[in-house]
Structure 1
Amino acid sequence: MIKDTSGQDQVIKQKPKLLKPALAITLMLSVVTWTGFAMFNSDNASMSIDKAQLQLAKVERGNLVRDVAATGKIVAANAPKAYSPEQGFVSLNVKAGDTVEKGQVIAEVESPELNNSLKQQESELARLKGELARSELASRRQALALTKTLDLAQVELNAAERENRRAQLSIEKRLISQIDLEKAVDDLAKAKLTYKHAQQEVELAKDTLSFELQSSKSQVARQQLVVDELQRKVGNLAIKASVSGIVGNLLVQPKAMVVKNQALLTLVDLSAFEAELQVPESYANDLGIGMTVELKIGSEQITGQLSAISPEVNNREVTTRVRFETSDISNIRQNQRLSGRILLENRSDILMVRRGGFLNAGGYVAYKIIGDLAQKTEITTGVTSINHVEVLAGLDAGDEIIISNYDTFKNADALLLR
């Protein structure tokens, strides 16, 4: 019987393949590195973030211009209204949008009552002037009569003096009696007294006539003032433009019945424009008259100064007025929209970083980039501008931080950036 070959078989144990020394060392270092990195990150980073989705900015030193952005519109600095001077029917000589010159008649008010009153007062003035002329004639007549009386008294005085001299000579020559002499002396005294009274009466009469004439003249002057005032009012019925510009809004209809001091239309002075800006209420206490304002009207940059600040707040906004520093501004229109930047303060050589959503967290923390980690760091911020925020503590120049919104970070102490 032939035996099988099982007795001839032998079990051969295969020897394991050995790696090359260099490759074995590389694999070992990689394992150690990844293990250590995983252990480090697991201890310090609670979540990982894609770095491409973040906004980063470096802390730097420079000049920070503290400003506030605002929007507004162009308004006319001089936009007067035309008012009705009296009650009546108005006729408008212009339409909205028409160009007018200063002094041009833009509307007329028809007032029959005022015209009638003027005619009555003019008639009264004419009557008083006639009375004054009559008084002057009567005064001249009375003055002539008084002069005649005074002259007659003078003649009688002269005659009495002659008779007295004749009587004195005659008594010396014993041509007349003592009684005739005494009569001549009495006649002279009587003539002197008559002349003296005539002089006083003439002076008193002249003063009386002068007073009466002055009174008549005062009445005429007073009536003349009444007529002049009515003429002025009638002249004002033709309403003239107070400025050169365009007609804005018509506030009444043509041929409408208007009352005294009722607004008729608005004029817009095209040579005097200002900017009206709406500023957030939070900046109200920082605003001041004379601050520099940079305005952008379309593609044009204009500089102005803050000229007025409203004392009240509407819809959490404060209304301000800006006066342009130059008057040769073209292509601007009433109510044209614009944007502006009010320069509140200029700080030099300060630590600052670009503004971002991280300020929504209050500006107390920031995530500083250290390698592939973003470490949560406490910071202190100062004043802010439209583009930058001042850093007071917690960061140094050259540090890079995340300025994106931190809401998705869940207040993590550290972030792994991948």
Structure 2
Amino acid sequence: MIKDTSAQDVQVKSPVNYFKHALVAAIVLIITSITAYIFLTSHSAKSSISRSKVQIAKVHIKTLIRDIAASGKIVAANAPQVYSPERGYIDLKVKAGDTVKQGDILALLQSPELTNELKQQESVLERLKGEQQRKHLQARRQTLTLNKTLDIANVELNAAERENRRAQLSIQKHLISQIDLEKAVDDLSRAKLTYKHAQQEVHLAKDTLAFELKAAKSDVTRQQLIVNDLIRKVSNLSIKASVTGIVGNLLVQQKAAVTQSQPLMTLVDLSNFEAELQVPESYANELGLGMKVELKLGSEIVMGNLSAISPEVNNREVTARVRFKGGTNNIRQNQRLTARILLDNREDVLQIKRGAFMQQGGIVAYKVDGNIAKRIPITIGATSINAVELLSGLKEKDEIIISSYSDFKQADTILLN
């Protein structure tokens, strides 16, 4: 009886598979290397971020143009307001937006009080002129009377001199008495005295008449000035344009009652424009008259110079005026624009493109070396709209991350994957 087949079995050894062992060893080696790399890199980098989420820029040495970005609008350099010269009722002859030339009538002001006052003063002037003419006639009449008195005194003086000579001859021939001689001498003295006083009275009267005529002439001249001023005021009731341009805003209604010096409308001189910019107050101390400004009006670039800087700050901004160097096309009042105020140029400056990394105060940066970004201290200098001057911490051709560091959590090293 056969119990089993164990006595018939023979043990056979299988051949060794060297390829399979090599493949397993290779896989183990790769896994070990990757694990070691991850361990080493994770040991030095405390955080990781995708390279596509950051901006990296290279340090260069070139000219740094310090500038300030500002926004503003076009304003008329000459935009006068028109005021009412007197009190009255306004009759507007133009509308807002109308084109006017210098000297065109903008409005007529009706002022019955001023017109009536002019007529009254003209009447007073005519009366004073009549008074002046009357005094001229009176002076001629008085002068004639005084000359007559002087001539009569002269005749009496000559007669007295003849009587005196006759008396002197007669006393020598004993034809008259001594009393008659003395009487002739007294008559001569009296005639001389009368003639002398007549001369003085004539001179005094002429001076008095000349003074009265001068006073009358002064009254006429003064009244003429009053009339001339009223004529000027009446002529100003026809309000004319002081510049060539367009009517801006009407500040009163048609046929409205206006007071003296009340604004009526604004005029805009289209031949002379300036740019009004709003500059942050932090740059106010760096602004200076004459600085170059690059203005962008749509697709057009215009150069200008700072012509005025406001001494006060409003809403943390300083107002500055820019005068254009040349003419521009299709420019409009209140047109919005952007500008670059050029502060200065610095040659051969180590600089980096400006970015959000400046939010850290410009004292640290993440220098890129391969896949590792290391936090390093830096010192910045002058800044512009597009670039930042580097004083220390970096050298030419170094690369740093210029985007925001808010996600880095102040890590010393960052892995870029």
Q: Do they superpose with TM above 0.5? A: yes
Unaligned runs of 5+ in 1: none
Equivalence for 1:61: 61
SS of residue paired to 1:169: helix
Matches within 5 A, 1:26-175: 30=30, 33-175=33-175
1:156-235 counterparts in 2 under 5 A?
A: 156-235=156-235
Q: Which moved more, 1:387-396 or 1:40-49?
A: 40-49
Worse-superposed segment, 342-351 or 206-215: 342-351
Q: Deviations over 1:363-390 (max 9, x none)?
A: 2211111112111111112221110111
Which residue pairs with 2:264 in the alignment? Answer: 264
In the alignment, structure 1 residue 291 sits paired with structure 2 residue 301: no
Q: Take 1:178 and 1:231, find their aligned partners in 2: how far apart are those partners? A: 79
C-alpha deviation, 1:117, in angstroms: 0.7
For residue 406 of structure 2, what is the aligned residue in structure 1? 407
Deviation at 1:335?
Answer: 0.5
Deviates more, 1:379-388 or 1:302-311: 302-311
Tell me what 1:371 maps to.
Answer: 370
SS of corresponding position for 1:329: coil
**TM-score (normalizing by structure 1):** 0.94
Encode CA deviations 1:238-281: one digit per residue, 9 max, x unaligned: 11111111100011111111111111111111111111111122
Normalised TM-score (structure 2): 0.94
State the alpha-carbon separation in 1 of the partners of residues 14 and 368 from structure 2.
Answer: 54
Which residue does 2:300 correspond to in 1?
300
Q: Which residue of 1 aligns with 2:252?
A: 252
1:194-233 deviation line (CA, Å, top 9, x unaligned)? 1100100000000111111111111111111111111111
Cα-to-partner distance string for 1:340-374 (whole Å, 9 max, x where unaligned): 01112322221110011111122221111111211
2-side partners of 1:108 and 1:335: how far apart? 30
Q: Give the letter for the 2:85 counterpart.
A: P
Distance of 2:364 and 2:19 partners within structure 1: 52
Q: Which residue is 2:312 aligned to?
A: 312
Residue 42 of structure 1, CA deviation:
1.9
Secondary structure of 1:351 counterpart? strand
Q: 1:243 to 1:349 in 2, by over 3 A?
A: same
CA distance in 1, matches of 2:53, 2:36: 27
**Stretches of structure 2 lacking an aligned partner (at least 5 in a row):** none
Asked if 1:280 is matched to 2:304, the reply is no
8 Å CA contact 1:106, 1:240 repeated in 2 = yes
Equivalents in 2 of 1:140, 1:252: separation in Å? 59
For 1:239, the equivalent position in structure 2 comes to 239
Q: Deviation digits for residues 51-72 of structure 1, max 9, x if unmatched?
A: 1222110011111111111111
Instruction: Quote the Cα distance in structure 2 between the aligned partners of 1:200 and 1:211.
Output: 17
Cα distance in 2, alignment partners of residues 282 and 7 from structure 1: 105
1:306 and 1:323 in contact (8 A); partners too: yes
**Range with bigger deviation, 359-368 or 36-45:** 36-45
Amino acid in structure 1 at the alignment position of 2:158: N
Deviations 1:110-163 (A, max 9, x none): 011111111011001101100110000000000011111111111111111122
* Preserved CA contact (<8 Å) 1:73 1:275: yes
- 1:340 and 2:310 correspond: no
1:396, distance to aligned residue in structure 2 (A): 0.7
Count of aligned residue pairs for this structure pair? 417
Query: CA 1:16 to 1:22, structure 2 compared with 1: closer, same or farther past 3 Å?
Result: closer
Over 4 Å off, 4+ runs: 1-5, 19-33
- Which residue identity does 1:360 align to in structure 2? Q
CA distance in structure 2 between the partners assigned to 1:7 and 1:251 by the alignment: 129
Partners of 1:348 and 1:308 lie apart in 2 by 29
The 10-residue stretch of structure 1 (280-289 or 109-118) with the greater mean CA deviation from structure 2: 280-289
Compute the displacement of 1:89 (Å). Answer: 0.6
Q: 1:22 to 1:345 in 2, by over 3 A?
A: farther
Q: Cα deviations across residues 17-56 of structure 1 (Å, max 9, x unaligned)?
A: 3359998997787566535422320211122222122211
Higher mean C-alpha deviation, range 314-323 or range 97-106: 314-323
* Structure 1: distance between partners of 2:269 and 2:29: 83
Query: Alignment partner of 1:62: what SS?
Result: strand
1:208 is paired with a residue whose SS is helix
SS of the residue 1:116 aligns to: helix
- Determine helix, strand or coil for the equivalent of 2:407: helix
- Deviations along 1:303-349, whole A, 9 cap, x unmatched? 111122223333322222111122x2221111111110111232222
What SS is found at the alignment partner of 1:358?
helix
Counterpart Cα distance in 1 of 2:154 and 2:350: 113
Partner SS state of residue 252, structure 2 = coil
Provide Cα deviations, 1:266-301, integer angstroms capped at 9, x if missing partner.
111111111111112222222222221110111111
**Contact conserved, 1:44 with 1:413, CA < 8 A, in 2?**
no
- Paired amino acid for 1:114: L
Tell me: CA distance 1:13–1:281, structure 2 relative to 1, closer, same or farther (3 Å). Answer: farther
Q: 1: CA distance between counterparts of 2:368 and 2:316?
A: 38
Quote the sequence identity (%).
64
Secondary structure in structure 1 of the residue aligned to 2:271? coil
- 1:102 Cα deviation from its structure 2 partner: 1.1
Report the AA paired with residue 320 of structure 1: A
Q: Residue 339 of structure 1 aligns to a residue in which SS?
A: strand
